[in-house]
Amino acid sequence: MAWDAITREILDIAQTLIRIPSVSTLPNPRYDAVHEAGAWLRRYFEDHGLTVQWFDQGRTPAMWVTFPGQTNPPVAWLGHFDVVNPEPDDRQFEPRIEGDYLWGRGAADMKTVVATFAVWMAHRRAQGEPYPPIAALLVGNEEEGETFPVGTPHALAILREQGIEPQFYIAGERTEETGTKPWGGICTHSRGASRMRIEAHGTRDHTGIATGRDLVAMLVDAYLYAQDRAGMYFTLRDVQDDWVTQLRFPFMLVGDEGLYNITPSRGVLGIEVRSIPEDPMQDFVNDLATYAREMGLTFIPETITEGTAVDPTNPYYQALVAAVTEVRGEPPETCRKRPASSIRYAPKDRGVVWGQSGWGPHRADERHYIPSIRPYYDALQAYGQRLLAMTASH
């Protein structure tokens, strides 16, 4: 199919990024490749006259990209250039276009959307002043969970120290999840993602004479306790709505498979809560911490983030809705985002998720719906003009 010149340009960059195996997740992270993807984007932005503040204080890099002369833009677009491990193997890093789809690891999540925003910023820079007051924050460990520097929370903290704190955030993750429609909705509500672990410690001993603690039983008890208490604090079921908090136990590890005659010295239970904004997290976290302390366990809250719900009166949100309506010819669909995104690190009432269309992120058949690229680009252009008009009116 013959795509327009802008779409072809974006597809070229997306394919370049897909070829870089920028995996940030276990079991086989490739941090050198994450750096390579970040460095490629940094060069692209700088070569097109944009200003890049490069954060490289941790295991993976991040960058804050602005138009020249802007110090504290009120709007930030959030994205990431890392991916999960390929399925089934590295052939997924060989992008291909078939019909309306771009296939490859990261095509839908989210290298094509990152390429779209990068090309839009480059084109808008070439068009000259005045520039719309919007910046991009791109990170390299979103898929990992942003538990180590430099993820979105770390970069936002650095920016706050510099007096930079946007009034509105847009996470560019896909919001049309069937991979068949040209427009993604604007998700006004998003779930958080909190990850915790409970550890049990004992002494390695002969099972025939050991009198120490049964770590398996302790972790099973902790599992049952967490499951029971979650029902007190969270909306886990709703017969009329699927907008609920999700509790999962992704792993429980204790002992060595096949080793029967030695008691384990350590066990760990993983707990993940994807909470809706209506369900605060802190009481549950405090409850588990107290339980662990009383049971002689160790409670480790790795990352605690709550759900978000944008303030509908936020003028930058209203401008986004108006821009999409202008280009689309009708108001955008609104949605609630169940998979977590970087928006959970923004102030709770200042962010939305708004992206393109794709199918199968993290799956072997991951692909991006190409007809959703140009509408997003055009909506960004319209949004930029509205942001400029808002600046002029003030």
81 and 209 together in one domain: no
Taken in order 302, 162, 36, 6, the sign of the CA dihedral is positive
The confidence score (pLDDT) of residue 127 equals 98
Strands 186-190 and 308-309: antiparallel
Q: Indicate if 360 and 236 belong to the same structural domain.
A: no
pLDDT at 228 over 90: yes
Report d(CA 330, CA 325) in Å as an integer.
5
**Residues whose CB is less than 8 angstroms from the CB of residue 26 and which lie 6 or more positions away in sequence, other chains included:** 144
For 6-26, letters b (16+ CB in 10 Å) and e give bbebbbebbbbbbbbbbbbbe
Domain that holds residue 289: 194-303
- Asked if residue 162 and residue 132 are part of one domain, the reply reads yes
Q: Are residues 179 and 31 in the same domain?
A: yes
Q: Give the residue from 270, 288, 303 where a domain finishes.
A: 303
Identify the pLDDT of residue 393.
78
Whether the predicted model's global pTM rises above the 0.95 cut: no
Do both 140 and 199 map to the same domain?
no
Q: Are 320 and 186 in contact (CB under 8 A)?
A: yes
pLDDT at position 161, please?
98
Verify that 167 and 294 share a domain, yes or no: no
Whether residue 207 sits in one domain with residue 81: no
Q: pLDDT tens-digit profile of 331-345?
A: 999 999 999 899 999
Residues 6+ apart with CB under 8 A from 241: none
Tokens of 195: 């990850």
* pLDDT tens sequence across 128-160: 999 999 999 999 999 999 989 999 999 999 999
pLDDT tens, position by position, 169-217: 999 999 999 999 999 999 999 999 999 999 999 999 889 987 788 999 9
> Is residue 100 within 8 Å of residue 193, measured between CB atoms?
no
Provide the domain count of the chain: 2
Give the CATH number, domain containing residue 348.
Answer: 3.40.630.10
> CATH number for the domain including 296?
3.30.70.360
134, 136, 82: which is closest to 110 by C-alpha?
82
Whether pLDDT at 118 is above 80: yes
- Domain termination residue (choose one: 239, 269, 303): 303
Say whether both 201 and 242 belong to one domain: yes
Same-domain check for residues 180 and 313: yes
